[in-house]
Amino acid sequence: MEKVIYRIKRFDGTKEWYQEYEFPYEKGKTILWGLIKIKEEIDPSLCFTSACRSAICGSCGVRVNGNAVLACKTSLDKMLETYKTNKLILEPLNNFKVIRDLVVDWEQKFERMKEVKPWLIPSKNSDKTKGFKQSEKQFNMIANPTDCILCGCCISECGQLSINREGFLEPFIFSKSYRFTVESRDEAPGEHLEPALENGLWKCIRCMQCVTKCPKGVRPAEHINGLRKESMKMGHRDNKGARHAYAFHDDIQKTGRLNEMTLPIKTEGLVSTMGRIPFALRLLKKGKIKPFNMPKPVNGIEQVRTIYRLAQNQKEER
Ligand code: FES
């Protein structure tokens, strides 16, 4: 391969267009190398952000062929090989306001992040002269979310955020919330958790894009699950998400299968479910639901119940 082409989405503050740049291929380079080459040798007007070139500062997140990557950590060879082409499409991260070309606006994201108070709230009585010790186990609880470098890759590809930008926090904010909710030295876990609960904690659709796209191996989807568990432990059980989880739990324990007839009532309550009657009637007409067929216990239900018992015993031992 002699030439590489970057087709870059440009934005000058008013209009958008795609512009192609061609430059000689060099082995062993990164996506960021190509951007810097264009800016230094072809078009100084091209805008993008980068600083450390070591996958630490998080400023070089971009989309390559529709997937968010950290430009300084992503091998150009690997991208060309993956897409079997010498032309790559580079765009700004999705789910952000674009300022110019590949530069996105973090202002609003940082404002939302502050809602979960991503800082330690130590006990007022703690003796600061003695430090704040943690056991290895306690540290391991926060090790993964602590690796977040605020690159925005999880935001860009989040399925829920793409359709619900206002009612759902950015995945990395849930990770920040979790990091301080389970922090052993923190005095006020509810102050980190409750804003997450009020801003879509139960709305994650488990597309797992935040996990697969994170260049640092942070697992926001796992932290969302952790926060849900913590919220239930704190007594936040009277919301749709928690009720839905309990309905699953109870049905499976009872019969080994879901009762689709009672699930909406248990989750949303009788009054809200009434609004779904026309839809239920259509399902009934098509034979999709059978209201009088109550699920019978599956074969091997005793084994299912044993799993429940073991899980419950483990929980109590912890
Ligand atoms: Fe700092 Fe890529 S330039 S993470």
30, 35, 36, 56: residue to mutate for ligand 1 pocket, most atoms within 8 A of CB: 56
Question: Looking at the predicted structure, is the pLDDT value of residue 62 above 90?
Answer: yes
Ligand 1: atom nearest CA of 55 is 4
Q: Which of 48, 70, 148 to mutate for ligand 1's pocket (most ligand atoms within 8 Å of CB)?
A: 70
Of ligand 1's listed atoms, the one at least distance from the Cα of 50 is 3
Spatial separation of the C-alpha atoms in residues 189 and 142, rounded to whole Å: 13
CB atoms within 10 A of CB 97: 11
pLDDT of 318 > 70? The answer is no
> pLDDT, tens digit, for every residue of 208-248?
999 999 999 999 999 999 999 999 999 999 999 999 999 99
- Residue type present at position 29: K
Q: Do the Cβ atoms of 172 and 212 come closer than 8 Å? A: no
Q: Please tell me the predicted confidence (pLDDT) of residue 277.
A: 84
CATH number of 3-104: 3.10.20.30
Q: Side chain identity at 103, as an amino acid letter? A: V
Cα 155 to Cα 67, 93, 268: the distances in Å are 11, 8, 29
Domain extents for the chain? 3-104, 106-233, 240-317
**Ligand 1 pocket by Cβ (under 6 Å):** 50-53, 55-60, 70, 72
* CATH (residue range 106-233): 1.10.1060.10
Q: pLDDT-based confidence at 312, cuts 50/70/90?
A: confident
- Which of 33-47, 56-70, 302-316 shows the lowest per-residue confidence on average (mean pLDDT)? 302-316
Q: For the segment 40-51, what is each residue's pLDDT rounded down to a tens digit? A: 999 999 999 999
Q: What is the pLDDT of residue 217?
A: 98
